[in-house]
Structure 1
Amino acid sequence: MTEPNERPTSASGAKLFKVAFDLEVERPNWPPVSVERLWGEKTDVKFEIRVVNTPFFVRGIAFGDLIQVRPDNERRDLVFEKFTQESGHSTVRVIIMREDSRERVEIKLRESGCGWELARGFDNYLAVDIPPTVEYREMRDWLQGRFAAGEIEIQESAISKVHQRQLPRFP
C-alpha cells in the first residue's frame, strides 16, 4: 500500500512512473483520448522504462516491453520517445459484443494464462496481455471463431516475434 503522494511500486519493489503516449486519431472519435498513460519501472539504462501494464489504445507496445522516454517539463510528464526492445508478450484488444459471451471469453483467457485490464467507462473492452508462454496460434484461432460468431471484436495491437513465429502467415 502506498501513502498519499507516494509513488506506487511494482511486484519487484521498483517505484513506478507514468509514461505519456500521445495518440494519433485513427478514425472519428477513436481513440477516445489523445494521451494514454502507462505505468513503467526504471531500468539501469538512463531514460529507459519497462512497461508494467497492458495498453488500451497505444499500438505496438505490450507488457514488459522496454521503451525510451524523455522528460517534458512543460507538460510535467515522462513522454514516450521510442520502442527499444520487446518482452515476448503480445497485446490484443477484445470488445465483448454479446454479454452472454463475456464469461466464456474470460474463462478461456484465464485458463490460457492471459491477463487483462478493464478501463473505466469501457465495460466491454478488454486489454489482453498474452505472455510468451501462451500458444498464440491456438488462442488466435479461438478468438477468430468467437469473432466469426459475432460474439467479440478483436484487434491485434502488438504481436511479439515469439507469437508471430507460431502463425503460418502474419498478419
Structure 2
Amino acid sequence: MTEQPRALHKIAFDLSEDAAAWARAAVEKLWVEKTDVRMEVRVRNVPFYAKGVAFGDVVRVRIDHERRQIVYEEFVSESGHSAVRLIIMDDDANSRVVDVLRAHDCWWEVDISGRLWAVDVPPPVDYAMMRSSLLRLADEGAIGFEEAALAAGHRQAAGLS
C-alpha cells in the first residue's frame, strides 16, 4: 500500500529585526506538512530568512487567533538536513556556486532578485568539503555565506561542535 502524500500548509515564522529588514517583512511563511503529533509539523522547504530550522525539521506551532495565522512556536527535532544562505556578490560566481552545490547533491531556491539563495544540504553531504569550497568563494568576495541551521552531523563533520 502506498502512503498518501500529506497536504502542505503555510506557517509563519516571526523574523528577528535584522532578518525582517532584509526580508522587508516581519514574517517568513514556510511550507509544512502535518505529522502524527498534534500541533507538530515538518518543514518542507528551505527558509530564506528564518534561522535555526532546515528542510525536514519538526517544529511545534500554535494558532494565533488575533493574527489569523498558524505560527512557529518552538523547534522539536532535526532532520539531519542543514540550511545555508548565499548572497551572490559577483554575477560571474553563479556557475561556480552551481558547480559546488551540484557536486554535493544539494538543491536550492533563488529569490526574485536572483542574488539570495536558500540551500538545502542533505544529511550525507561531506559538509566540511562543501563548506571549504563556499568559504573560498566568500574569501574571494564572490558570495556572502551564512549557516542558518546546521544539523549535528554537519557541525561535527566541519569541526564546529
Superposition TM-score, scaled by structure 2 size: 0.93
Q: Does the CA-based 8 Å contact 1:47-1:70 persist in structure 2? A: yes
Please state how far the C-alpha of 1:12 moved relative to its aligned partner.
5.9
Between stretches 143-152 and 20-29, larger displacement belongs to 20-29
Give the length in aligned residue pairs: 159
CA–CA distance in 2 between the matches of 1:29 and 1:18? 21
Amino acid at match of 1:35: V
Correspondence 1:1-171 to 2 at 5 A = 13-26=5-18, 29-120=21-112, 122-168=113-159, 170=160
Distance in 2 of aligned mates of 1:94 and 1:30: 13
1-side partners of 2:4 and 2:104: how far apart?
A: 24
Say which SS state the counterpart of residue 123 (structure 1) adopts. coil
Most deviating of 87-96 and 105-114: 105-114
In structure 2, relative to structure 1, the CA distance for the partners of 1:27 and 1:157 (3 Å cut) is closer
Q: Does the Cα contact within 8 Å between 1:147 and 1:154 map onto a contact in 2?
A: yes
Structure 2 unaligned spans of 5+: none
> How far apart, in 1, do the equivalents of 2:97 and 2:12 lie?
30
Task: Give the TM-score taking structure 1 as reference length.
Answer: 0.88
More helix by share: 2
Shift of 1:28: 8.7
Is the Cα contact below 8 Å between 2:20 and 2:26 reproduced in 1? no
CA root-mean-square deviation: 1.7
- Measured in 2, the distance between the counterparts of 1:40 and 1:114 equals 20
Number of the residue aligned with 1:7: none
Tell me, in whole angstroms, the C-alpha distance in 2 between the residues paired with 1:116 and 1:104. 14
